[in-house]
Chain A
Amino acid sequence: MNGQPPRLCRLTHDPIDANELISAVQTVADGAVCVFHGIVREDSRNRKVRFLDYDAYPEMAERKMHAILDEVAIRWPDQRAAIVHRLGVVKVGEASIIIAVGSPHRGESFDACRYVIDRVKQEVPIWKKEVFTDGEEWIEGS
């Protein structure tokens, strides 16, 4: 053991608890924890969303999420990141993804957090279907 908390990186069908991510990344060396919530919004291209339904290729999604955390460990060796992504039905106003980054200083924590969400959107095989009051549609993007 080298004092690092165990890595938190998973998919879940349950609501995400941001505090769990914060605890997973924060150490006594940190002066900042940056937390990003990706939220389901009501309005999509002028249609009213009832909820989103997330589908994933789960084994590959978790593998890619771990690979992104490996990348963070290289770019920012003194930071730690955690990722939890929802699957299945996520209601308007709920978080579909939360990312937390613990860092000695605030500036790099914002950089790393932005990096993680951008990479998740590029690499991780998760898809969302928007379910409207009047139909549904697969969206190419998370």
Chain B
Amino acid sequence: MSDVRIELRYFARVRELLGRRADTRTFPAGTTIADIWQSLSEECPSLAGLTWKPSVNQEYATPETVLHDGDEVVFIPPVSGGTASLAIDPPTHRSMICIRFVGRDQR
């Protein structure tokens, strides 16, 4: 199995603690997001207490996600102030798919 090349981008507190905006790094195949965080935390111990939610290629993901060659990974600090709750629920995934098709037809 070959290595994977991962694009890491850092924002907000993570960027300030690491002192840089981005890295391109090579990891063994099978590497997860949690593995990368582990290695960053070893390099920069002050990262250890931070809360984050990962994104892969600009979509939210879970720390267990196994990465593929060329993936862009970001450790996203919480963006929500306190206990933000919605007065109205978002539409279901199924209805989102429908509107995409409808939207295209109309253009």
Residues of A within 8 A of B (CB): 2, 55-57, 59-60, 63, 70-71, 73-75, 111, 114-115, 118-119, 121-127, 129, 138-142
Contact = CB atoms under 8 A, between A and B. Distances in A.
A70 B79 contact: no
Nearest to A59: B58
Interface string B31-43: 0000000000000
Contact of A74 (B78, B84, B85, B96): B96
25 contacts: A56-B11, A57-B9, A57-B55, A70-B96, A70-B99, A71-B96, A73-B103, A74-B95, A74-B99, A111-B87, A114-B87, A115-B86, A115-B87, A118-B84, A118-B87, A121-B80, A122-B80, A125-B74, A127-B11, A138-B13, A139-B81, A141-B78, A141-B82, A141-B84, A142-B81
Given A71-B91, A74-B95, A124-B79, 4 more contacts: A55-B15, A74-B91, A118-B85, A118-B86
A111 B87 CA distance: 8
Contacts of A55: 11-12, 15
Contacts of A75: 88, 91
Given A70-B99, A119-B90, A127 B58 contact: no
B18 interface: no
Given A71-B90, A71-B96, A119-B90, A125 B13 contact: no
A141 B81 contact: yes
B80 A140 contact: yes
Given A2-B106, A141-B81, A127 B12 contact: yes
B93 to A, nearest CB: 11
Contacts of A73: 99, 103
A132 to B, nearest CB: 16
Contact of B79 (A2, A121, A129): A121
A138 B12 contact: yes
Contacts of A111: 87-88
